[in-house]
């Protein structure tokens, strides 16, 4: 190692001494050599600094009359020259000294590690460091778990948003949605059922083109339609009637509601026993029962029993009446011998068409019962024929009631004018 240092330093110093920019006849100062050697290191120990050199090489003093720059520089008259070989010997000795110091320190360290208390202290320090690192890792894992728990809490606190189809299926499980009445909250269930039917008005009238039929009427001519369709092994009859009446829409709605609420009895071809079971909200919601024996005896079918819930909605320029059959009732159950139940629903829309005119559009559906001893279509034909016969009687009864109401109104107006 010393030989390599000796050769490298020797050549570096000689090269520097032979540089072209050094004036001829000038001596190389020790400061220059020391600054060069100060940057050299060996085993982490810097080379000798310029303060450690005790002698300097300077240029001889020249005549003060010389105009060249090198002659004007002031230098001592006598300096001791230090050769590169001496510098190298000094550095080599310094290197040997530092190596010996290093070996002493290594030996002292080795002796210290043999101390059992030192070993324990070192192992405890290492264990403490590992514990700190593990603690940091566990804290980070705990924070992650807390974030996950908080996110789950937010998810659990939110109410699940069901799809429209799933929400509809769940709503169908509610008794009133299945047209079933219980022992309690009967008024609320009836109102919920009939408001649900009211919300279907526009959908059904658009689908069955009821609005189109009503808006294209000519005069007071009756527009009617009967349609029959099959659905899930059942026969469904769709009945539509549109007509214009020469009376205020409020007055006509009161006449029609009188027949629906059974406050006024309507004559029919077949005798039907009807009765009002319940009335709510100032007679705007009614629940009625209808029994038919005569027709069933003639047709040789079981007796029919129907339960109908109806509600009247009065609005600014129209009145809507809706009805729906009740299929089961816990408070007033169906009679055991009446095995055939009525199944119908409908809407009546009375709109203003001037101060003393109104348009009436009625759409109802009826699901016919199926009897094994009747051929296909026979029961449908019977119901359609009965509907036509009864509707004619109903129109005549309505017409008579309208004329009577118009006379009463005219008399009231006359009395007011005479006063």
- Other beta carbons within 10 Å of 320: 18
Per-residue pLDDT for 20 more than 50?
no
Q: What is the predicted pLDDT for the residue at 121?
A: 85
Q: What is the predicted pLDDT for the residue at 80?
A: 63
With CA atoms as reference, report the closest residue to 287 among 251, 316, 323: 323
| Whole-number Å distance between alpha carbons of 300 and 166 | 44
Question: Between 5 and 182, whose confidence is greater?
Answer: 182
Angle, CA of 153, 159 and 163, to the nearest 5° = 130
CA distances from 333 to 163, 184, 261, 277, 301 (A): 36, 14, 20, 12, 21
Per-residue confidence at 231, pLDDT binned at 50, 70, 90?
confident
With CA atoms as reference, report the closest residue to 257 among 321, 211, 214, 325: 321
Q: Say which range, 42-46, 258-262, 371-375, has the weakest mean pLDDT.
A: 42-46
Q: What is the predicted pLDDT for the residue at 155?
A: 80
| Whole-number Å distance between alpha carbons of 256 and 326 | 21
Highest averaged pLDDT of the listed ranges 36-40, 233-237, 239-243: 239-243
Per-residue pLDDT for 152 more than 50?
yes
Q: What is the predicted pLDDT for the residue at 241?
A: 94
Q: Which spans in 199-320 are helix H? A: 201-207, 210-215, 249-260, 294-299
Let me know: does 75 contact 57? Beta carbons within 8 Å: no
- What is the three-class DSSP state of 88? helix
Q: Say which range, 31-35, 193-197, 214-218, has the weakest mean pLDDT.
A: 31-35
The rounded mean pLDDT for the chain is 78
Per-residue pLDDT for 49 more than 50?
no
| Whole-number Å distance between alpha carbons of 257 and 260 | 5
| Whole-number Å distance between alpha carbons of 40 and 18 | 20
Per-residue pLDDT for 373 more than 80?
no
Q: What is the predicted pLDDT for the residue at 79?
A: 58
How do strand 340-341 and strand 328-329 relate by DSSP bridges?
A: unpaired
With CA atoms as reference, report the closest residue to 308 among 269, 353, 272: 272
- List Cβ neighbours of 327 (8 Å cut-off, separation of 6 or more): 178, 179, 180, 307, 341, 343
- List Cβ neighbours of 293 (8 Å cut-off, separation of 6 or more): 271, 273, 303
* pLDDT above 90 coverage of the chain, percent: 39
Question: Between 295 and 379, whose confidence is greater?
Answer: 379
């Amino acid at each position: 190692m010393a030989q390599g240092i000796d050769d490298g330093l020797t050549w570096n110093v000689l090269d520097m001494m032979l540089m072209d920019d050094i004036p001829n006849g000038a001596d190389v100062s020790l400061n220059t050599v020391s600054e060069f050697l100060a940057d050299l290191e060996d085993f982490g120990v810097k080379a000798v600094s310029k303060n450690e050199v005790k002698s300097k090489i300077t240029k001889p003093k020249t005549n003060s009359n010389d105009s060249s720059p090198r002659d004007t520089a002031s230098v001592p008259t006598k300096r001791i020259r230090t050769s590169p070989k001496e510098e190298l010997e000094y550095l080599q000795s310094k290197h040997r000294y530092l190596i010996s110091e290093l070996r002493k320190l290594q030996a002292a360290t080795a002796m210290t590690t043999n101390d059992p208390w030192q070993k324990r202290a070192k192992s405890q320090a290492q264990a403490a460091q590992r514990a700190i690192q593990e603690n940091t890792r566990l804290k980070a894992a705990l924070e992650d778990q807390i974030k996950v728990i908080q996110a789950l809490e937010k998810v659990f606190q939110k109410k699940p948003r069901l799809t429209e189809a799933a929400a509809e299926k769940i709503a169908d499980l509610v008794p009133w949605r299945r047209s079933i009445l219980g022992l309690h909250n009967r008024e609320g269930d009836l109102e919920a059922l009939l408001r649900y039917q009211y919300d279907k008005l526009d959908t059904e009238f658009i689908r069955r083109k009821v609005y189109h039929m009503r808006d294209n009427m000519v005069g007071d001519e009756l527009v009617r339609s009967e349609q029959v369709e099959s659905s899930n092994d059942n026969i469904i009859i769709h009945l539509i009637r549109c007509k214009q009446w020469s009376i205020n829409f409020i007055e006509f709605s009161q006449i029609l509601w009188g027949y629906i609420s059974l406050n006024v009895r309507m004559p029919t071809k077949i005798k039907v026993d009807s009765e009002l079971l319940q009335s709510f909200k100032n007679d705007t919601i009614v629940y009625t029962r209808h029994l038919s024996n005569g027709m069933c005896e003639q047709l040789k079918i079981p007796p029919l029993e129907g339960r109908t819930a109806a509600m009247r909605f009065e609005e600014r320029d129209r009145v809507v009446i809706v009805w729906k059959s009740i299929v089961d009732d816990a408070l007033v159950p169906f009679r055991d011998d009446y095995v055939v139940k009525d199944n119908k629903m409908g809407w009546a829309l009375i709109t203003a068409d001037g101060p003393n005119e109104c348009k009436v559009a009625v759409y109802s559906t009826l699901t016919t019962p199926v009897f094994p001893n009747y051929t296909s279509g026979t029961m449908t034909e019977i119901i359609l024929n009965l509907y036509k016969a009864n509707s004619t009687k109903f129109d005549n009864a309505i017409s008579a009631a309208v004329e009577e109401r118009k006379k009463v109104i005219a008399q009231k107006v006359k009395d007011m004018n005479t006063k």
